[in-house]
Chains A and B, each alone.
Chain A
């Protein structure tokens, strides 16, 4: 009888202790390399890049945070690596992603990129100005040749689905896209000052060199227009 009581007590203690530690599968520890990318995606990344009550993670609610669902895996790996190495320096990247990614391991980055590239995409629910989007469609499909801007679809695909290191833009938030175009634009200004020899440290998005001249070739209104159009794509 005493023995049974002992077993019951020990079981109760183990249960209580077990309940107090969730283990790695629900961890929010950004400093432990043993936490899997999938766990981080759910416990941490989903707070900004996810939507509550949906089975799909990677479609964000607030346009501050880009949609990641269905993004090109190579591009995701490249960006997370840049956040980790502090080479991508647009303000939101510095404020939010440098910290998140500072201890990411290559394995976690690989797992996170795989996870998000496989999440199903969804139409962006936020409204855009249809007239503005129509202007943007023209730029996306035909470019702005007067200023040397080629058609966006040439690299990003006819439906902006992206390809490897070239990101998917379809359904991305207009505000996010506009801010990134502004980052490329500002890098182009730095390049002009430094005779197209700017150091990576001086650029917000040094791996986006291909976008610098393009962003600079679009005026402010055109940047908004092409961003609006991209948000409407599914």
Chain B
């Protein structure tokens, strides 16, 4: 479980493949160089299918020197939890290591990809698996003042397609929650739990006048083929029947300011444990907003996301998968980042989870089964050159499992899980 949280926090970000393809610096597509946050330009690069720029000389059409379509990302760090309690969670220190390989970029004038593999020690040993990956086909019609971008994609989990960094997969905090022990049991909306390769999806989208955006996709777990990591929720594997994902947004740039408001969501039909079990349904609906200021030397990015989930469990699952026949979960996510000269920056993130008590799903608090969690995550970082980032992140838990002091049934209080983490991120 800890390993899963760790792997989940290592999501893909800036790829020098694209820098080689366009010849441009990271700040062109990433706000102040703060990958993974995308600028207006970065969003269009992704929505036009990663096709802008040059590609390796496959057809003798291109005149540029070849550059191999591969890049590597290394992350290392060390985390320290507030309290050392050998007999119980959390542990006091942990190492952070991950390596990612990327490929993709422009394939034809309309087709491009984002392909990532990530390796790390996930607790059960070292492994190397497919991470965020997608292939897009996109086109852009521009005439008489009309501008329409449209495309289709195949990818390996919901929200890989997001361009506003307002989903769990592309959150602005680079290193995620490094609390791999009990704190990793933070209740998460089902949409946030999809990991790479655990479902496959296709989708289509339209972006009109770079203002109105609409996207719909459908995801399903594999029924046959090579064994992959199963999607897990709560304690066991979950298999997904065809489940719809959607995203709507309105965006507008005024001067150096960029605004977006939108909504996204998914209805997941999930078999718990095996394909043969009855279906539980998770309905996730989120309102989201983004603000950016993009004018050197000042860069500001801010996000707000309010997600509501209502879940209902089949009669024969009540008492095993969940204690209740239905539950709800609300997630509030707020972050704001500032970077000066694309070098010196900081981020403050706030996350709050509230929901219905369920002693089976939320077992940390053995008295109430409360899912209520609250954390603040301040971070500072320095990017001495665009390929290297050094950071310090602190996670403060102000509420955990509904408790602000000692958690019923445990010996620790939320602040015991507070975590400091130093990290180095290098990408080439």
Contact = CB atoms under 8 A, between A and B. Distances in A.
A99 B22 CA distance: 6
Interface residues of A, number: 39
Contacts of B40: 47, 62
A18 B24 CA distance: 31
Interface in A61-90: 61-64
A94 B137 CA distance: 30
Contacts of B54: 29-31, 103
A52 B211 contact: yes
A103 B145 contact: no
Interface stretch (A19-27, A113-121, A139-147): A19-27
Interface stretch (B44-52, B167-175, B213-221): B44-52
Contacts of A159: none
A29 B21 CA distance: 10
A165 B121 CA distance: 59
B147 interface: yes
Contact of A63 (B28, B140, B256): B256
Nearest to B23: A99
A150 B137 CA distance: 55
Interface size class of B (residues with CB under 8 A): 35 or more
Contact of B147 (A28, A53, A102): A53
B254 A61 contact: yes
B142 A103 contact: no
Interface string B50-94: 011111010001111000000000000000000000000000000
A134 B396 CA distance: 51
A27 B256 CA distance: 28
A92 B41 CA distance: 14
Contact of A55 (B57, B137, B145, B296): B145
A96 B140 contact: no
Given A32-B61, A53-B211, A62-B256, A91 B23 contact: no
A142 B24 CA distance: 40
A21 B147 contact: no
Interface of A: 20-22, 26-34, 42-44, 46-48, 52-55, 61-64, 91-92, 94-96, 98-100, 102-103, 126, 175, 179
17 contacts: A26-B139, A29-B61, A29-B62, A29-B109, A30-B53, A31-B62, A43-B142, A47-B41, A47-B44, A48-B41, A53-B147, A62-B256, A63-B256, A95-B24, A99-B24, A100-B24, A103-B62
